[in-house]
Amino acid sequence: MSLRERIENKLNEAFTPERLTVIDESHQHAGHQPDITGTGETHMRVQIVSESFSGKSRVDRHRAINALLKPELDAGLHALAIEVAAPGEATRF
């Protein structure tokens, strides 16, 4: 199972999202550091809409996702961009 799939599974289980997209953006970061070649799954973007985030601050939403995905970050995920909303909130995704 790919890292992207593991992230999707964890987010689906934890937040039961109405919308969820996990995008591998690793190729866009090739050469930013000597060990980042653009291959592999090092940079991910999460776009998620879930009722779980209603009434929570942006910081609390990000903390919840970062805490859930800490094992992936500890295991080599270099960067995680998070775009999060509750249902009915405006999004850019």
Q: pTM (2 decimals)?
A: 0.86
Cα dihedral: 71, 72, 73, 74 (round 10): 50
State yes or no: pLDDT of 37 exceeds 70. no
Q: What is d(CA 51, CA 38) in angstroms, rounded to the nearest whole number? A: 34
Which tokens sit at 34?
A: 């000597």
Tell the CATH topology of 3-85. GMP Synthetase; Chain A, domain 3 (3.30.300)
Q: Which residue has the higher pLDDT, 84 or 77?
A: 84
Q: What is the pLDDT of residue 76?
A: 84
Please give the average per-residue pLDDT across 29-49, as a whole number.
70
Angle formed at CA 52 by CA 47 and CA 56, multiple of 5 degrees: 90
Position 78 confidence tier, pLDDT thresholds 50, 70, 90: confident
Position 38 confidence tier, pLDDT thresholds 50, 70, 90: very low
